Amino acid sequence: MADKPKVAVHKFASCDGCQLAFLNLGEDLLTLAQMVDIVHFAEAGPVNPEAAVDIAFIEGSISMPEDLERIRRIRANTRFLVTIGACATAGGLQALRNFANADEWVASIYARPEYIQSLSTSTPIAQHVKADLEIWGCPVNGRQVLAAVRSLLSGVSPWLEKDKVCMECKRQHNVCVMVAKDIPCMGPVTRSGCGAICPSFGRDCYACYGPAENPNTVALTQRLEGLGLVPEAVARRFHFITAAAPAFAEAGLRGGNMPHD
């Protein structure tokens, strides 16, 4: 009997939420276990970080000096490298340090900052090695992960959702919170895939799935300002969970420098 494809799940700077998406697959996790041999997944049990694998899933961002060498070794040991979640694809919440003086932050908190070995930035995996597939979300969901495994092992290009959350709201017949209630919402520029969970419960989207394809951040900035948000509040909307995504990073930095009629 032929060996099953080997899979590894590696963790970098993150909250572990995307690894939990694997564990929350339920019966699908048993299906996955029949399809592949999971050789490294420290949170679930198997530990073999240097194993050569067919698919390496990466959770977390590059935030520590030793991360750089480790991600290069993982890349060299895998056929497909798949980043999962906002940290791995867009730096995560910790990428807020990219817009500040990280050394000053550390010095203001720790009595002996020289013992803190941290990079001044938090960056996505794809800035350092080739990523064959990026799965967005905070966290990702099991459906996305299982679909990626099936596609890659079948030699099919994985299908990724690129619509905006607004499209998902329309499909679910949600009342638009921004139009009907004047609640500032990031749905017009955010990638779908979450099932429009927040708008379905009457609250605004906060962009945890990152930028959609061709996001019109200029128009949304003007709309948010029209709803009463000051430039700093608009910047915080873009510089949140996926702050290192170029479209949102640029929109947040543009902030209060928008031209007005």
Sole residue written with tokens 């996926």: 242
Q: What is the pLDDT of residue 30?
A: 81
Q: What is the pLDDT of residue 76?
A: 98
Measured distance CA(81)–CA(154) in Å, rounded: 16
Q: Quick one: which of 64, 22, 61, 26 has its CA closest to 43?
A: 22
Per-residue pLDDT band at 68 (split at 50, 70, 90):
very high
DSSP 186-254: -GGGBB--S-SHHHHTTS----TT-B-SS--HHHHHHHHHHTT--HHHHHHHHSSTTTTSHHHHHHHHH
Least confident of 64-78, 89-103, 174-188: 89-103
Mean pLDDT of the chain: 91
Q: Give backbone dihedrals phi and psi of 38, rounded to 5 degrees, phi first.
A: -80, 110
pLDDT digit string, tens, across residues 6-60: 999 999 999 999 998 878 877 788 888 888 999 999 988 899 999 999 999 999 9
Per the model's pLDDT, the better-predicted residue between 148 and 200 turns out to be 200
Per-residue pLDDT band at 260 (split at 50, 70, 90):
very low
Query: How many CA atoms within 13 Å lie on the side-chain side of 147?
Result: 15
190 CB neighbour count, 10 Å cutoff: 28
Beta carbons of 172 and 178 less than 8 angstroms apart? no
Per-residue pLDDT band at 150 (split at 50, 70, 90):
confident
Per-residue pLDDT band at 219 (split at 50, 70, 90):
very high
Question: Residue 257 above 60 pLDDT?
Answer: no
Question: Residue 147 above 90 pLDDT?
Answer: no
Measured distance CA(48)–CA(71) in Å, rounded: 15
Q: What is the pLDDT of residue 128?
A: 97
Q: What is the pLDDT of residue 88?
A: 97
Least confident of 27-41, 192-206, 237-251: 27-41
Question: Whole-model pTM?
Answer: 0.90
37-41 and 78-84 beta bridge pairing: unpaired
Question: Residue 64 above 90 pLDDT?
Answer: yes
Beta-carbon contacts of residue 85 (< 8 Å; ≥ 6 apart): 14, 17, 18, 59, 60, 92, 135, 136, 137, 138, 139, 140
Question: If 0-12 CB within 10 Å is exposed, 13-18 middle and 19+ buried, where does residue 168 land?
Answer: buried
Measured distance CA(120)–CA(94) in Å, rounded: 10
Q: What is the pLDDT of residue 55?
A: 94
Measured distance CA(63)–CA(31) in Å, rounded: 34
Q: What is the pLDDT of residue 52?
A: 97
Q: What is the pLDDT of residue 149?
A: 86
